[in-house]
Structure 1
Amino acid sequence: MTTAQRDETHAPGRYADVNGVHLYHETHGEGRPMILLHGGLCSGEMFAPILPALTAKHQVILVDLQGHGRTADVDRPLDMALMADDVAALIDHLGLDRPDVVGFSLGGGVALHTGFRHPEKVGRLVAASAHIRRDAVYPELLAQQGQVNAAAAEYMKDTPMYELYQRVAPRPEDFPRLLDKIGEAMRKDFDFTEQVRALRVPTLVVAADADMAPPSHFVEVFGLLDGGLRDGGWAGEGRPAGGHALAILPGLTHYDIDQSPLFAAVTLAFLDR
């Protein structure tokens, strides 16, 4: 640890060395374990408003993903597949037996990739506000994402994301580096249609009714999981064979769904079925 890094002893959680990443995580509550993954430029702290509801019956493991929160960046791209491998390694490190994995936005993508790549390690999966094709995002937002780079750091100094990073990051001076990496990741084209179609982990697809992608996109994702193709039947016999589900939450956006009691409620309803 260099002199530029903060003293880890002041952090309320612990670190696990996985895949070359010094991965920060906190454990709250007791019960069936749930790994909870934050959005881009944020940390596990973003779930504070709904954490009491989630921990009422679950042990919640908040993870700060590579380069976010209290986890320092390493010399590799910000890639959801690599971060999913970190989550899988953390599951092994903690000795967890098929925990549920819940993620929002970037974390939702990482949760999906954990299900794609390590289905044997996951119980149930919740992916909130996680589009599976880059072109599903509204064009004006894609244009904004294309402008994210280190030069934007100066203009973000009054934002909650910058304040969080300066307060908790091991190397606060790395914020421009994080913007460069996340901007590069957002500019890359992707399409996870076939991976979703092959997903065998029971999955809840969640979105706000005014999200970064239209509700129709998340209905499309549900369709890839055998959902929305027929009547569900009196006994649920027509529901998706894999136990998948869909929730479009009313009155919310990409920027407040993570703190909504509705998100907590549908997550718990799905995990506790």
Structure 2
Amino acid sequence: MTTTQWTAEPTTSGQYAEVNGVNLYYETHGAGRPMILLHGGLGSGEMFGPILPTLADRHQVILVDLQGHGRTADVDRPLDITLMADDVAALIDHLGLEKPDVVGYSLGGGVALLVAIRHPDKVGRLVSASANIRRDAIYPEMLAQQGQVTGAAAEFMKDTPMYELYQRVAPHPEDFPRLLDKIGAAMAKDFDYTEQVRGLQVPTLVVAADADMAPPSHYVEVFNLLDGGLRDGGWAGEGRPKGGHALAILPGLTHYNLFLSPLFAAVTLAFLDKES
């Protein structure tokens, strides 16, 4: 499976919600307990096209296009996961949802994590995939590549799925260089959410590829902060993390195809649909 397969035509018409000064685009698919699904950087909800039918077969899936991405136009503020997390919390209120599960990948995984940290009363369960809680956990060569992301790179990205998607769906297709500038500025900022994660109250599944943007040990570190991987689990699971947290390192995947994988859909559903 390659990244060129990561868009799909929406099967329902989307809607907009005015939250925090952002005209946030979202689509609703399927029925069941609500799941808010958040895409990666430079993408949109359409990224999940290949696994959406599997998720929507068991849940009402609300695909959100985050600020400046997909069909949501940019606004005059930085691309900041804290602000985007507050947008998602406001959308939960706007839709009148009762503690939906929140699932996110990469940028969306960071946003999902911040929703659970900042608004724990609004979230049922959390799945945070391919999201790093410390900038210095990312491989040095990847940090160097991120440092080259500016609007000037737009010309060189014209054959990429990110550019194709943006040109097809964005309200202002000419803003792609601006999005690159903002993404680059966001990635250049240092961050460390260690202490916030340590106090996380929402049952959380940490997901990563076995060849992700940071080493598997980083995602084990996150699990450790959540009381996981510190003792034998016990015959009856009595030694498992007290908060109901879990960890999944998915084999044979990378940061760039995890969100397409049936494995990602399977572990997400197994965690969200767990009885206790």
TM-score by length of 1: 0.96
* Residue 143 of structure 2 is aligned to residue 142 of structure 1: yes
The CA distance in 2 between the partners of 1:191 and 1:61, in whole Å, is 28
Query: What is the 5 A alignment of 1:186-265?
Result: 186-265=187-266
Residue 85 of structure 1 aligns with an amino acid whose one-letter code is D
Residue 226 of structure 1 aligns with an amino acid whose one-letter code is D
Residue segments in structure 2 that go unaligned for 5+ positions in a row: 1-11
**Who is 1:69 aligned against?**
70
Per the TM alignment, residue 158 of structure 1 is displaced from its structure 2 partner at its CA by: 1.0
Q: Deviations over 1:206-252 (max 9, x none)?
A: 00000000000000000000000000000100000000000000000
Query: How big is the alpha-carbon RMSD for the aligned residues of Structure 1 and Structure 2?
Result: 0.7
Q: Deviations over 1:58-95 (max 9, x none)?
A: 00000000000000000000000000000000000000
**Who is 1:52 aligned against?**
53
Per the TM alignment, residue 256 of structure 1 is displaced from its structure 2 partner at its CA by: 0.5
* Residue 189 of structure 2 is aligned to residue 165 of structure 1: no
Per the TM alignment, residue 257 of structure 1 is displaced from its structure 2 partner at its CA by: 0.4
The CA distance in 1 between the partners of 2:89 and 2:186, in whole Å, is 21
Q: Deviations over 1:149-205 (max 9, x none)?
A: 010011111111011001000000110000000000000010000010010000000
Per the TM alignment, residue 57 of structure 1 is displaced from its structure 2 partner at its CA by: 1.1
The CA distance in 2 between the partners of 1:219 and 1:160, in whole Å, is 31
Per the TM alignment, residue 121 of structure 1 is displaced from its structure 2 partner at its CA by: 0.1
Residue 111 of structure 2 aligns with an amino acid whose one-letter code is V
The CA distance in 2 between the partners of 1:86 and 1:147, in whole Å, is 28
Q: Deviations over 1:10-66 (max 9, x none)?
A: x92000000000000000000000000000000000000000110111000000000
**Who is 2:86 aligned against?**
85
The CA distance in 1 between the partners of 2:53 and 2:271, in whole Å, is 17
Question: How many pairs are equivalent?
Answer: 263
4+ aligned runs moved over 6 Å, structure 1: none
Residue 160 of structure 1 aligns with an amino acid whose one-letter code is P
> Percent identity over the alignment?
83
The CA distance in 2 between the partners of 1:171 and 1:55, in whole Å, is 29
Residue 172 of structure 2 aligns with an amino acid whose one-letter code is R
Residue 234 of structure 2 aligns with an amino acid whose one-letter code is G
TM-score by length of 2: 0.95
The CA distance in 1 between the partners of 2:244 and 2:81, in whole Å, is 24
